[in-house]
């Protein structure tokens, strides 16, 4: 890739938590009508206008980059080009999945394809690349560049190289054709991975049919029903939902073959080697492994609850893990939810960020047409006097469906904007995710372009006089996504190409996973967790039980993630010339403790193969880093301003402008080894995230 890692490739069923590009069109200031304040986007046709405007500007910037003498302005022009295209692509990428109006979604989808195709063409533009070579090959000019500018120039060149710029004209054309073909395959696979499977209702026992959606004589099964207490429901859902789809199998085969052909065409041993260049892992061999110790406990639990089949099967994993935690620790979400109103949780985040970083949220009134749905609201700071008590507890029943939060630093002022689209609605994706709408950068007029992001969650809306009440897992997800948002807000880079979450994939999840540790610490929770009716604080023993419960079956959960990561690596390694299902069966037997189920193809529901191709291991790597940072820097004092400032200075501020290993080294004040990563994961399995006071 050249200018962007266009997140349109991620389609998002498993919507990528970190979207890496940004747009131009008139997003500054956010004050006019139209989505996100972009006047062109008052209707679906506006995407065509925004697209044409970005393409015209791209043409001008390409000419400027190719004709200007080499220097810092070369890198700045490349970054402006990236910004111009990416800002359109990212906004469209969000709207195509989040807007309730199909016309908007379709218009955004078309724009994604058009911008993505142009990017692939620019990736192999010889004249454009030559302007960068002229810069990097001129030692005298390079000596005048600061380290960030030089690194960004090298990253742009790296993007050219992995796109095949060094190839002859016919091979470059082939590389472009392969990339464009992959865009279509990604779209086909992502759409297919979300489609339900149907079966004649007579095939299912009558007493479980009501558990599924029935359309005439057909039963529609669109998920695994993994939390159902009925063993037969889980088994039926697993076998039907994962039943192989021949056309989708062919699509996946073609997708993997195209990726391998592209990787070898541009000089890599495999797509995995190409994808891991520039990451913390570096090569495919550094996959973290662990050993599961929990399946015996699951088997004992299944014997207690089921007599037909005492063996633990893949459809049992999630349910039995939850059952074990409930039995051992009495973790009933309904006990916790009254203490976790959404308003209280947002106030807790506000307090935490103020203590750690000197940053706070400030609600802003939206302009007409700025939001994308009728059920989207902005947080209104004024609350009727009759609700004053609720407001004081952060539990106002008027708490937002969506609000725009201005993020403000106590001395630096406004840092950026976060749109919080938090509540469930029809046709809205159920994944919790973070979207970058506009990345931060220093503009040519000396003004810093403020970042804009969206946090999308699937929380229960308020009802009557009852605020939105969150389960512990929802609280953890809220903190996780806010970690991404703050990474975007606090990444103060000169160039948008490396702003915020635009860093290596195996580092991008570190800030969000680190926030999960704060969400499990009683010292943090006690600052805001109050019963929404009585004001009673959350009892400390409930938090202690919750932390202990996370240890139950955590090894098996980690083993499952290792299986996913290993499968992703094998698929993107050297071709094996056998079916993806045969590969799945073999990898599952080697890396997972539960058997493969005949006539299933779980890989067809593994949508992360598109967005995280060869990088799914990133979750494990990021968790290991976050664990080390938490234990060394925040475990003794989760509110330490000294450590908070170091965290911003060493990790958040750089985005992708600094090698991720160097950022971790700066934070930990040591260079971690692969053994350190493994030890951190093992320590988590044994000790989890308890604070000393528990």
- What residues are annotated to the active site? 481
Ramachandran bin of 2, using left for φ above 0, alpha for ψ from -120 to 50, beta for the remaining angles: alpha
Element (H, E) at 214: strand 213-215
The backbone torsions φ and ψ at residue 366, rounded to the nearest 5 degrees and listed phi first, read -75, 155
CB 256 within 8 A of CB 189: no
Burial 631-650 (b: 16+ CB within 10 A, else e): bebbeeebbeeebbebbbeb
DSSP, collapsed to helix, strand or coil, labels residue 7 as: helix
**Residue 41 phi, psi dihedral angles, 5° rounding:** -95, 40
Handedness of CA 159, 164, 168, 169 (dihedral sign): negative
CB 443 within 8 A of CB 495: no
Cβ contacts of 216 within 8 Å, gap of 6 or more: none
Distance separating alpha carbons of residues 18 and 34, to the nearest angstrom: 24
519 Cα distance to chain centroid: 18
Cis before residue 48, ω within 30 degrees of 0? no
- Closest to 182 in 3D by CA, of 94, 117, 230: 117
Residues in the chain, total: 694
Can you tell me the distance from the alpha carbon of 561 to that of 290, in angstroms, rounded to the nearest whole number? 10
Which residue do the tokens 């009759």 mark?
Answer: 386
Half-sphere exposure (Cβ direction) of 336: Cα atoms closer than 13 Å: 26
> Smallest Cα–Cα separation from 175: which of 308, 292, 274, 293?
274
505, 10 Cβ separation under 8 angstroms: no
- Contact call for residues 382 and 394 (beta carbons, < 8 A): no
Beta-bridge mates of residue 363: 405
């Amino acid at each position: 890739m050249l200018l962007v890692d266009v997140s349109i490739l991620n389609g998002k069923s498993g919507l990528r938590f970190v979207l890496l590009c940004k747009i131009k069109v008139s997003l500054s200031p956010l004050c006019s009508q139209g989505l996100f304040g972009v006047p062109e986007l008052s209707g679906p046709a506006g995407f065509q206008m925004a697209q044409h405007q970005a393409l015209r500007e791209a043409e001008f910037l390409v000419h400027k980059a190719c004709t200007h003498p080499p220097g810092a302005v070369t890198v700045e022009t490349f970054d402006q080009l990236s910004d111009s295209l990416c800002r359109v692509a990212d906004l469209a990428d969000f709207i195509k999945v989040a807007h309730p109006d199909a016309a908007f979604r379709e218009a955004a989808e078309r724009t994604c394809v058009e911008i993505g195709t142009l990017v692939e063409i620019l990736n192999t533009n010889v004249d454009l690349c030559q302007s960068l070579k002229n810069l990097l090959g001129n030692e005298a000019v390079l000596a005048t560049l600061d380290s960030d500018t030089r690194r960004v120039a090298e990253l742009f060149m790296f993007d050219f190289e992995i796109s095949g710029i060094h190839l002859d004209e016919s091979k470059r054309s082939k590389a472009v054709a392969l990339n464009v073909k992959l865009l279509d395959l990604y779209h086909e696979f992502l759409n297919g991975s979300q489609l339900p499977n149907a079966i004649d209702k007579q095939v299912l026992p009558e007493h479980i049919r009501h558990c599924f959606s029935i359309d005439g004589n057909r039963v529609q099964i669109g998920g695994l029903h993994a939390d159902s207490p009925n063993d037969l429901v889980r088994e039926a859902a697993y076998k039907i939902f994962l039943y192989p789809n021949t056309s989708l199998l062919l699509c996946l085969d073609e997708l993997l073959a195209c990726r391998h052909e592209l990787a070898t065409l541009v000089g890599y041993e495999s797509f995995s080697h190409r994808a891991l260049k520039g990451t913390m892992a570096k090569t495919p061999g550094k996959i973290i492994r662990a050993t599961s110790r929990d399946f015996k406990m699951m088997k004992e639990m299944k014997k207690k609850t089921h007599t037909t089949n005492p063996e633990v099967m893949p459809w049992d994993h999630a349910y039995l893990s939850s059952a074990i935690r409930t039995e051992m620790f009495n973790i009933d979400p309904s006990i916790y939810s009254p203490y976790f109103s959404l308003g209280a949780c947002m106030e807790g985040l506000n307090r935490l960020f103020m203590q750690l970083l000197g940053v706070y949220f400030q609600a802003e009134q939206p302009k007409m047409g700025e939001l994308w749905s009728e059920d989207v609201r902005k947080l209104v700071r004024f609350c009727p006097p009759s609700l004053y008590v609720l407001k004081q507890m952060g539990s106002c029943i008027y708490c937002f469906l969506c609000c725009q939060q201005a993020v403000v630093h106590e001395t630096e002022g406004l840092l950026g904007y976060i749109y919080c689209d938090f509540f469930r609605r029809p046709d809205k994706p159920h994944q919790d995710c973070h979207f970058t709408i506009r990345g931060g950068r220093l503009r040519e007029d000396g003004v810093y372009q403020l970042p804009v992001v969206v946090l999308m969650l699937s929380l229960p809306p308020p009802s009557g006089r009852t605020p939105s009440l969150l389960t512990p897992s929802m609280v953890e997800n809220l903190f996780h996504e806010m970690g991404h948002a703050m990474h975007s807000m606090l990444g103060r880079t000169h160039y948008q190409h490396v702003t915020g979450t635009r860093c290596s994939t195996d580092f991008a999840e570190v800030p969000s996973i680190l926030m999960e540790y704060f969400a499990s610490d009683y010292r943090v929770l006690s600052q805001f967790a109050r019963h929404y009716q009585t004001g009673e604080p959350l009892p400390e023993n409930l938090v202690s039980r919750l932390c202990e419960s996370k240890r139950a079956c955590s090894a098996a959960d980690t083993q499952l993630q290792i299986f996913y990561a290993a499968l992703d690596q094998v698929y993107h390694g050297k071709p094996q010339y056998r079916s993806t299902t045969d590969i799945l069966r073999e990898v599952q037997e080697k890396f997972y403790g539960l058997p493969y189920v005949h006539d299933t193809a779980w890989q067809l529901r593994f949508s992360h193969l598109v967005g995280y191709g060869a990088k799914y291991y990133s979750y494990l790597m990021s968790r290991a880093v976050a664990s080390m940072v938490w234990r060394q820097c925040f475990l003794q004092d989760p509110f330490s301003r000294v450590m908070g400032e170091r965290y911003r200075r060493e990790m958040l501020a750089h985005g992708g402008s600094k090698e991720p290993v160097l950022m971790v080294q700066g934070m930990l004040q040591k260079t971690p080894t692969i053994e350190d990563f493994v030890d951190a994961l093992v320590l988590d399995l044994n000790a989890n995230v308890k604070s000393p006071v528990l």
